[in-house]
Amino acid sequence: MRINRRSLLRVIRNTVSERTHTNRNLVSIYLGGSVLGSDYALGETVDIDLFFIHAGPVEQEREIVRLTDDVHLDIAHHEQKDYRHPKALRLHPWMGHTIKDGEIFYDPGHFMDFTQASVRGQFARPDNVLTRVRKQAEAARDIWFGYEMSQPEAGPKEVADYLRALWNASNAIACLTGSPLTERRYLLQYPLRADAVGRSGLYAGFMGLIGAQNVELDGIKDWQTSWESAYDALPPGQAPARLHPDRKYYYLRAFEEMLGSDQPGTVLWPLLNTWTTMANILSENSAAQDNWQQVFEQVGLLGDGFGERIEALDAYLDQVEETLDDWARRQGAL
């Protein structure tokens, strides 16, 4: 399948036609994600993010549909009742942006038209921006407090929480000037967002917190093989939708493109983040989990280095919170 905007739009329209013909419960369908923009392919692979709004309960929240190795549908299924308070959705860190930016493909009752218009109203007002980003920063701080209170021994769950704190904190910065950053493109776009608010050092701090200073390019290439083995070892039906079997090449080909670029370190976030999700599913003491453990000890996210990273995370969160406060003062949102 040749990947271009025309072919992707044809897939979307055909999918909408087929699904609405067989499911009378659908209220609206809209498109989100990278396909809305011009830079939609990475590693010559694309996921088409569609959002189905149903009149009643849904059987599954997320559905992956393979079209080719390079293209798949990523369908989120939502209930109509979840959209009935647009003013609250406007302040949601993720759904607010998703609805505001979405392109509607099916909406016979104009339900989504009304919801989207309501969400878009005053969306960029500084106090509304501040509410959304502070929710993200507070979620990150809550994770840090959990470490401070219990000081757990690091394992897959603790590392996953740590990475989630970084994800929330850095997206708080990113969302001052745009929509939330997604997994594969995270380190390609975060430097631009940090620069946009005059805090370019936050990118370097982020890279330090994921252990980039301990990584050699040849080592990352070796990790990719172990990552793929872990992906293949995931028990059927136990992995989240984002690690569906039909999404493996979606990651691998993006990894290969980033590793072959002049910024190979940008592969670290999607590789380490997805690998940690796998480590939480794989059997303890399995070869696949042992490989994960060895790599994360090397980058300082397990063992003695983990405690130091938690201290550094505290300092990073302080910088993020100060940045939000400074931005709010400049915008008159305090």
* C-alpha–C-alpha distance, residues 127 and 332, integer Å: 8
pLDDT-based confidence at residue 133 (cuts at 50, 70, 90): very high
CB 34 within 8 A of CB 185: yes
Hey, what are 50's tokens?
A: 């569609």
Hey, what are 180's tokens?
A: 């939330």
Helix (H) or strand (E) holding 77: strand 71-79
Torsion of CA 279, 284, 288, 291, to 10 degrees: 80
CATH 3.30.460.10, the chain: domain bounds: 5-120
pLDDT-based confidence at residue 151 (cuts at 50, 70, 90): confident
CB 132 within 8 A of CB 87: no
Q: What is the mean pLDDT of residues 22-51?
A: 95
Q: What is the mean pLDDT of residues 151-170?
A: 93
In this predicted structure, what is the pLDDT of residue 236? 86
Query: What does the pLDDT look like over 1-29, one tens digit per residue?
Result: 678 889 999 999 999 999 999 999 999 99
Q: What is the mean pLDDT of residues 159-167?
A: 97
pTM of the model: 0.95
What CATH architecture does domain 5-120 belong to?
A: 2-Layer Sandwich (3.30)
Q: What angle do CA 32, 43, 191 make, to 5 degrees?
A: 70
Phi, psi (rounded to 5 degrees) for 273: -70, -45
Angstrom CA distances, 199 to 181, 191, 319, stand at 17, 9, 9
Query: What does the pLDDT look like over 224-250, one tens digit per residue?
Result: 999 999 999 999 888 999 999 999 999
Average pLDDT of every residue of the chain: 95
In this predicted structure, what is the pLDDT of residue 6? 92
Residue with tokens 């796998």: 278
pLDDT-based confidence at residue 139 (cuts at 50, 70, 90): very high
pLDDT-based confidence at residue 116 (cuts at 50, 70, 90): very high
